[in-house]
């Protein structure tokens, strides 16, 4: 084939001809011819002609990536990956400008997010500390320019954003840099689970103070919902691991005030009792469950008061004060799930009360625009059991017939009742 220089020039000519007809051909034979040219370039690198191959490989990677972008089924994407491997081999063997190489790798990923995929492992040796520092500088600048998705907003899905985040994420994985991991995750704060992911990364890195700061931010964003319980658990575990019992109590107290519930109540009790703090903490929690504004006669409690009432009923049930729980439910109200739990617990001792609750829950479900075909049969089943226990099966039968008559046009509901044996 002549001299080494002629060999590289010949491959360049072959590649130019094949790429010129990529849109017209793109079949298996075209892929095979390009792969043979790539094999020639590999041999040129092995023969010591990496300096000549490197610029050609750069051009070839970009050209193949462009073909793959236009025609994903052409086979050019796989060829671009192979061309990038040739480029990496040539870069390792040739004398390169490390800062320029870093810039080229970053630009390649921005221009072609779908691939080829750059692996820093393949380039780490040739980049060295200088090249890697330049790569990181560019990556951090690009990441900083991206807007953060705020809580409650849908994530952004543009190609450039995805390319930048993938680039920084791969750099963080390669270097083991926690700050880079956090930087990537913090660009999407649309849900509480993102705050949890960030706090978990920081916890694994042993950065306790930052864990608590991100948990506090997450709790403020979620307002006690979604991932809030997991955030609190993680922060409390971290506080106890560090011996910060007072901070753990504060977190749990605040979490309970934001969204009262039995789980948080029990967790706070478990932390407070060894410190002989439970009586005082329990009094504070009881105060947090008081009415925010006593409803007028016949008025409906606010959503917040209904949430507090439900929490108090479940706490009293857990403590064994069933009469107190019933009294609170009657006076303050509670959510339907709590009413169901309460009725189940009173089925043996106060069947009349349980029957009243179950019938009310059935009627609420039936009153919805589309009757809940899964929940109504379940509630009716519970109602039947209580009616049988109380010696009033005929009352249940009459009520069931009445329900079927009133909803005769709802075939989906009637089918669900038949499947349940009604």
Q: Residue 323 has what pLDDT?
A: 93
pLDDT at 16: 75
pTM of the model as a whole: 0.75
CA 13 to chain centre: 50
Give the pLDDT of the chain (422 residues) as one tens digit per residue: 444 444 777 777 777 777 776 655 557 888 888 888 888 889 899 889 899 899 989 988 988 898 888 888 888 889 999 999 999 999 999 888 999 999 999 999 999 998 899 999 999 999 999 999 999 999 999 999 999 999 998 877 788 999 999 999 999 999 999 999 999 999 999 999 999 999 999 999 999 999 999 999 999 898 878 888 899 999 999 999 999 999 999 999 988 988 899 999 999 999 999 999 999 999 989 888 876 555 544 567 778 888 889 999 999 999 999 999 999 999 888 998 999 999 989 888 898 999 999 999 999 888 876 656 678 888 899 899 988 888 888 888 999 999 999 988 888 888 888 888 88
Residue 150 per-residue DSSP state? P
Q: Cβ distance 337 to 364 under 8 Å?
A: no
The number of C-alpha atoms within 13 Å of 365 and in the hemisphere containing its C-beta is: 21
d(CA 373, CA 413): 5
* Cβ neighbours for 406, distance < 8 A, ≥ 6 positions apart: 366
Q: Which contacts (CB < 8 Å, 24+ apart) does range 72-77 have?
A: 72/114, 73/26, 74/22, 74/26, 74/30, 74/31, 75/26, 75/28, 75/30, 75/31, 76/22, 76/26, 77/114, 77/115, 77/116
Quote the CA–CA distance of 379 and 364 in Å, as a whole number.
11
- What number of residues does the chain have? 422
Q: Give the integer Cα–Cα distance in Å for 51 and 98.
A: 14
Q: What 8-state DSSP symbol labels residue 295? A: P
Tokens of 155: 């994530």
Q: Please report the pLDDT score of residue 289 as a whole number.
A: 85
Which residues are within 8 A (CB) of 98 and not within 5 positions of it... i.e. 6 or more apart?
Answer: 126, 127, 128, 130, 131, 134
How far is 201 from 284, CA to CA, in rounded Å?
33
Check: CB of residue 370 under 8 Å from CB of residue 381. no
Helices (H), 223-321: 228-242, 245-258, 262-272, 278-288, 303-318
Residues 6+ apart with CB under 8 A from 203: 211, 234, 238
């Amino acid at each position: 084939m002549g001299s080494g220089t002629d060999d590289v020039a010949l491959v360049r000519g072959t590649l130019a001809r094949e790429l010129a007809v990529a849109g017209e051909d793109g079949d298996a034979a075209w892929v095979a011819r390009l792969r043979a040219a790539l094999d020639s370039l590999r041999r040129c690198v092995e023969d010591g002609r990496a300096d000549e191959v490197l610029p050609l490989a750069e051009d070839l990677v970009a050209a193949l990536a462009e073909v793959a972008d236009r025609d994903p089924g052409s086979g050019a994407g796989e060829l671009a990956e192979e061309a990038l491997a040739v480029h990496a081999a040539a870069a390792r063997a040739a004398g390169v400008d490390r800062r320029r190489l870093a810039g080229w790798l970053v630009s390649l990923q921005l221009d072609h997010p779908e691939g080829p995929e750059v692996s820093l492992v393949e380039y780490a040796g040739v980049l060295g500390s200088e090249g890697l520092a330049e790569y990181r500088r560019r990556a951090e600048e690009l990441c900083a320019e991206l807007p953060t998705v705020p809580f409650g907003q849908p994530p952004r899905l543009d190609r450039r954003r995805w390319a930048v985040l993938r680039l920084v994420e791969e750099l963080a994985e390669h270097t083991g840099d926690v700050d880079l991991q956090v930087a990537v995750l913090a660009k999407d704060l649309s849900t509480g689970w993102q705050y949890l992911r960030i706090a978990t990364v920081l916890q694994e890195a042993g950065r306790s103070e930052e864990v608590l700061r991100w948990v506090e931010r997450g709790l403020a964003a979620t307002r006690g919902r979604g991932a809030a319980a997991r955030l609190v658990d993680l922060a409390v575990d971290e506080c106890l691991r560090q011996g910060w019992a007072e901070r753990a109590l504060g977190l749990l107290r605040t979490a309970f005030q934001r969204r009262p519930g039995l789980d948080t109540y029990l967790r706070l009790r478990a932390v407070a009792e060894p410190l002989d703090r439970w009586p005082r903490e329990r009094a504070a929690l009881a105060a947090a469950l008081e009415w925010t504004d006593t409803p007028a006669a016949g008025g409906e409690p606010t959503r917040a008061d209904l949430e507090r009432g439900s929490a108090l009923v479940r706490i009293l049930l857990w403590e064994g004060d069933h009469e107190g729980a019933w009294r609170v439910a009657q006076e303050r109200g509670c959510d339907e799930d709590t009413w169901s739990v309460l009725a189940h617990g009173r089925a043996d001792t106060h069947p009349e009360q349980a029957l009243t609750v179950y019938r009310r829950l059935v009627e609420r479900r039936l009153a919805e625009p589309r009757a809940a075909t899964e929940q109504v049969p379940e509630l009716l089943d519970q109602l039947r059991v209580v009616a049988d226990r109380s010696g009033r099966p005929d009352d249940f039968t009459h009520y069931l017939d009445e329900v079927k008559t009133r909803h005769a046009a709802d075939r989906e509901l009637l089918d669900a009742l038949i499947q349940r044996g009604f």
